[in-house]
Structure 1
């Protein structure tokens, strides 16, 4: 069984999320906490496999909790963010903190179930790599661990791109509205290279999640600016 710690400042919401976890085969609730300090203490005491972590907590943000967990060599735990926070900085910090998934409230049981099932499959495949009789890890083994499930990817990702980073780029576009971003501006906001940022932007255009327009200045070539579709 995969043991889950549920962290949410709202007692009723925590109970609902705990109920979702218990409904999912292969998962059980190790505990519930309602503050950041309680969450950090519970991870050290209960040793869960996974934390469902809210960002809005009364004493510290969930992102600060994530930083504390990552800074401690004694806390080897995975994290799924479940929060109403949908701003660009929160998504970026969560991604860079190594969260497994980021789920925006409110959500249905099925939304969480898909992500838990994906986590369980990744957990199983990663465990298989540690078997002593197994030969050296192959690239295809690693690819299967890092790949997003079809139901969450929403579209077939081109080679070299990931659904998680695509979501980060789309969040960056959404944060600036109609003004949009150039590839260089997107690279600066997301920490990607300019070439990678352009690839993700063009992918979002190809699946209809973004559009591109040319903006003409006084001199030189027109600047291509990307924005999310309405």
Structure 2
């Protein structure tokens, strides 16, 4: 209610408005802080993947994180990559014999 009141006050006693005036008034309706997670990242699943990494004594692959979290490898990789982007996880290449190498993720904090 107070937010809307502030928004309305932005237009009181003004005969002409500039785009900057309108943007500033609309800004009072928007939250001032950014969301903690990006679109498509569920906080509960993110916490589950974090716990898997924290409890691991060595690096974890997306497949291993998925199995431990009860989610698919693809979903685990998306969450792991998010954690790399925000600087909580380190990513390195794991060579374990012939075939395609996989990424290994380690908790940094």
Q: TM-score, normalised by structure 2?
A: 0.63
Q: CA RMSD in A?
A: 1.8
Residue 217 of structure 1 deviates from its aligned partner by 2.2
Q: Number of residue pairs matched? A: 77
Aligned with 2:54 (options 158, 171, 174): 174
* In structure 1, C-alpha distance between the alignment counterparts of 2:73 and 2:99, rounded to whole Å: 19
Deviations 1:100-132 (A, max 9, x none): xxxxxxxxxxxxxxxxxxxxxxxxxxxxxxxxx
* In structure 1, C-alpha distance between the alignment counterparts of 2:68 and 2:96, rounded to whole Å: 23
Aligned with 2:88 (options 209, 216, 224): 209
Larger Rg: 2
SS in 1 for 2:105: strand
SS in 2 for 1:172: helix
Residue 172 of structure 1 deviates from its aligned partner by 0.6
Deviations 1:172-224 (A, max 9, x none): 101013x1211111110111111111100000000001111111122112121
- Which has more strand, going by share of residues? 1
- Structure 2: where are the runs of 5+ without partners? 1-32
Q: Greater RCO between the two (CA within 8 Å, min separation 6)?
A: 2
* In structure 1, C-alpha distance between the alignment counterparts of 2:74 and 2:102, rounded to whole Å: 15
Matched, 1:191 2:70: yes
Deviations 1:62-88 (A, max 9, x none): xxxxxxxxxxxxxxxxxxxxxxxxxxx
- Structure 1: where are the runs of 5+ without partners? 1-149
Task: Give the 5 Å matches for 1:63-212.
Answer: 155=36, 157-177=37-57, 179-212=58-91
The aligned counterpart of 2:23 is none
SS in 2 for 1:161: coil
